[in-house]
Amino acid sequence: MTTGRGSTLIRDPSQPQRATYVELFYDLVFVFTLARLAEALIEDLHPLGAYEALILLLATWWVWSYTNLATETLDSQRPAVQLLVIAIMFGSLVMSTAIPDAFDGRGPLFASAYVGIHLGRSVVLAFILRHHRLRNRPLRGIFWFGVSGAFWFAGAFVPGGLRVLLWTVALAMDYLGPVLRWPTPKLGRSPAWEWNMAGEHLAERYRQFMIIALGETIVITARTFRSSDYGSQRVFAFVTAFATTVLFWWIYFYRTREKLGSAITGSADPGRETKWAGYAHLVMVAGVVLTTVGDELIIRHPYGPMEESWVAVIIGGPVLFLVGRTMLGHEVFVHVAHPWLVGLVVLVLMAPAMIFLAPVAVAGTVVAVLFGIVLTDALSIRERRS
């Protein structure tokens, strides 16, 4: 049932489910956001700093993911919907400016922007969908984000470890919602059909975000190199960093036969595949952010001295990226390329010995492993096609 003025803002499921220009415009914020995350981590490169960066990344990803629900449901060709996306874009930009100091003086700003985006978007959707069969979905969002928002705000006004604890609880609630199917007073749990989203639209949005994430590595790499002395050591580090980004792109995009959209919509449980695709891409994005930190380190300090945390970053980023790509292959496409698994094992096993090498040598070794993965995977696909 779709009666009333709000029905004109709802996407027609019979029309092509393509991402629109306003969604691409919205994504531009996340080039800046991911760069802020990488910079915050490189300035605080220890276990607690890494965990704080993870909290901020999870929050950022949740804002982007839930905005996809809005643009998947609503017709973002309509000016009213475009204004909603632009408002979310502004809130996301405010949130990103607070990232470097989110665990210091700008915690209230970060929490206000994060909670405001989720509650504001849910309220607008509840109004637009009030006569639609999806009308209960934003109502569940208002309840769940309202409860978790209390923890976000409480954490924003306490110092140090207590803020980390409260924001961890808040994020756990936000991420447990889909797992538990958002049980809400008087509404109950969300039925599975509420989350059978347009697979092609979702797949395109994930591809676009991966391009944004990889673009962020190029921005940081180029900016770091520009501020260097352009010496031969840094030139080699710069080329190595760029090669890593290219190989990430190849590993993610090369298997053109794998159609994420049709894999989701054609599965027995599209809602489950949607969630797994989201988790897999989140892990890959985390790997890209970590790799960005490693790229900056090797350009700034190509020949050391090496530290354990640097090894963890330079190798850990590609490991996370491959883990995410393997998750996507296993859970959505029901196929894992053997080169990915072999490359994962090689990277993990070689990590302890890398402490004895220069940072740029470690990065070069990682590039060699990634190139081996790409080459082996390409040859195996060519053999199957012949």
Is the separation of the CB atoms in 128 and 6 below 8 Å?
A: yes
By residue range, what is the domain housing residue 186?
A: 13-195
Q: Along the 386 residues of the chain, how does pLDDT read in single tens digits?
A: 444 445 688 887 766 667 889 999 999 999 999 999 999 999 889 999 999 999 999 999 999 999 988 888 888 889 999 999 999 999 999 999 999 999 989 999 999 999 999 999 999 999 999 888 888 999 999 999 999 999 999 999 998 899 999 999 999 999 999 888 899 999 999 887 777 666 678 888 999 999 999 999 999 999 999 998 888 899 999 999 999 999 999 999 886 555 776 777 666 677 677 778 889 999 999 999 999 999 999 999 999 788 999 999 999 999 999 999 999 888 777 777 788 999 999 999 999 999 999 999 999 999 999 999 999 988 877 666 65
115: amino acid identity, one letter: V
The answer to whether position 1 is within a domain reads no
183: helix, strand or coil? coil
Q: What is the DSSP letter of 191?
A: P
Residue where one domain finishes, among candidates 195, 214, 244: 195
CA 4 distance to own-chain centroid? 36
Residue 209 and residue 189 in one domain: no
As given in the structure block, the two tokens for residue 96 are: 């990103």
Is the separation of the CB atoms in 296 and 242 below 8 Å?
A: no
Q: Which residues pair with 184 in a beta bridge?
A: 188
Residue 144 and residue 293 in one domain: no
Domain count, the chain: 2
Cβ–Cβ contacts within 10 Å for residue 96, how many? 24
Can you spell out the DSSP letters for 41-101?
HHTT-SHHHHHHHHHHHHHHHHHHHHHHHHHHHB-TTSHHHHHHHHHHHHHHHHHHHTGGG
Residue 78 sits at the vertex; the CA angle it makes with 73 and 81, to the nearest 5 degrees, is 55
Cα dihedral sign, 169-171-145-40 = positive
Residue 73 and residue 159 in one domain: yes
Residue 146 and residue 117 in one domain: yes
pLDDT at position 255 is 64
Residue where one domain finishes, among candidates 155, 170, 195: 195
Rounded (10°) angle between helices 47-73 and 79-97: 170
Residue 191 and residue 269 in one domain: no
E-assigned strands of 282-354? none
Question: pTM of this prediction?
Answer: 0.92
The answer to whether position 4 is within a domain reads no
CA 381 distance to own-chain centroid? 28
As given in the structure block, the two tokens for residue 105 are: 């003086």
d(CA 26, CA 19): 11
* Residue 10 phi, psi (nearest 5): -90, 135
d(CA 202, CA 33): 21
Residue 186 and residue 238 in one domain: no
Smallest CA-to-CA distance from 113 within 148, 153, 74, 171 is with 153
pLDDT at position 380 is 78
d(CA 128, CA 272): 26
Is the separation of the CB atoms in 287 and 318 below 8 Å?
A: yes
The answer to whether position 47 is within a domain reads yes
Task: Give the up-direction half-sphere exposure of residue 333: CA atoms within 13 A in the CB hemisphere.
Answer: 18
pLDDT at position 5 is 47
The answer to whether position 386 is within a domain reads no
As given in the structure block, the two tokens for residue 73 are: 């449901």
Residue 133 and residue 73 in one domain: yes
Smallest CA-to-CA distance from 316 within 53, 69, 107, 33 is with 53
Residue 243 and residue 176 in one domain: no
Helices (H), 102-231: 107-128, 136-156, 160-180, 199-226
The answer to whether position 55 is within a domain reads yes
Residue 187 and residue 203 in one domain: no
As given in the structure block, the two tokens for residue 36 are: 């802020």
235: helix, strand or coil? helix
Is the peptide bond between 305 and the residue preceding it cis, with omega within 30 degrees of 0?
Answer: yes
Residue 75 and residue 219 in one domain: no
Is the separation of the CB atoms in 292 and 212 below 8 Å?
A: no
The answer to whether position 180 is within a domain reads yes
d(CA 312, CA 358): 14
